[in-house]
Amino acid sequence: MNQFIDWLSQPWPWYVAGPMIGLTVPALLILGNKSFGISSSLRHVCAMCIPAKIPFFQYNWRKEMWNLVFVFGVLVGGFIATFFMSNPDEIVIAAQTQADLAALGITDFSGLMPSDIFSWENIFTAKGLVFFVLGGFLVGFGTRYAGGCTSGHAIMGISSLQWPSMVATIFFMVGGFLMTQVFLAPLMKLVGF
């Protein structure tokens, strides 16, 4: 059993993990005519918890309960992987990436997310306001405006040959490249990094 846990806790190669993610799409379509995506689960939770007469939330959210179970499984799986199956080896980050991040004030590479940004102390600071509140709002707004998140468009939309998903995925990538290559350094300096 320990050998299985050791094997399971190692990073899986792309040629195993990629097809497993890719096969999720046809499995969902064949087994129940369901579309893969995570961002719609927030709409389901709001429709379930907010009894207001907002037209956007007036639909049969019970029919989409499978999506909430899927998201719950992602959360439970992340918890189990973090606390019971994490790889004890140091995370390997390229020297150039470490130098680039150090220039921005990010020097702690001991976890999956840099604690220089993602810590409880940063939540109520200008950095926290920009990264967590404003950034979270923009991601949520963009997801709703684009009609879905990156997983929904890139995995489900492209595999089912939807042109809007191809366009959305291209702009997700362009936006990510622009943010990291053009806007990130000035933004980090603006908020005190």
The DSSP line for 96-132 is HHHHHHHHTT----SSSS-TTTSSGGGTTSHHHIIII
pTM, full prediction: 0.67
Q: How many domains does the chain have?
A: 2
The continuous run of DSSP H or E covering 83 comes out as: helix 65-84
Last residue of a domain, one of 38, 67, 86: 86
% of the chain with per-residue pLDDT over 90:
4
**Tokens representing residue 98 in the block:** 């470490």
Shared domain for 128 and 53, answered yes or no, is no
**Do 65 and 128 lie in a common domain?**
no
Is residue 16 in a domain?
Answer: yes
Q: pLDDT value at position 34? A: 81
CA distance 131 to 75: 22
Residue 68 falls within a domain, yes or no?
Answer: yes
Q: Distance between CA atoms of 115 and 26, rounded to whole angstroms?
A: 38
Q: What is the pLDDT of residues 104-147, one digit of tens each?
A: 778 887 777 777 777 778 778 877 777 788 888 888 777 877 77
Q: How many DSSP H helices and E strands does the chain contain? A: 12, 0
- Helix H, strand E, coil C: the string for 167-191 is HHHHHHHHHHHHHHHHHHHHHHHHC
**60-87: pLDDT as tens digits:** 888 888 888 888 998 998 888 878 877 6
Question: For residue 23, what are the domain limits?
Answer: 1-86
- Distance between CA atoms of 63 and 127, rounded to whole angstroms? 40
Residues 131 and 72 placed together within one structural domain of the fold: no
Give how far Cα 115 sits from Cα of 7, 84, 91, 106, 174, Å. 28, 21, 14, 8, 27
More confident residue, 188 or 66: 66
Q: Are 79 and 131 in the same domain? A: no
- Given a contact cutoff of 8 angstroms between Cβ atoms, the answer to whether 113 and 120 are in contact is no
DSSP annotation of 157 reads I
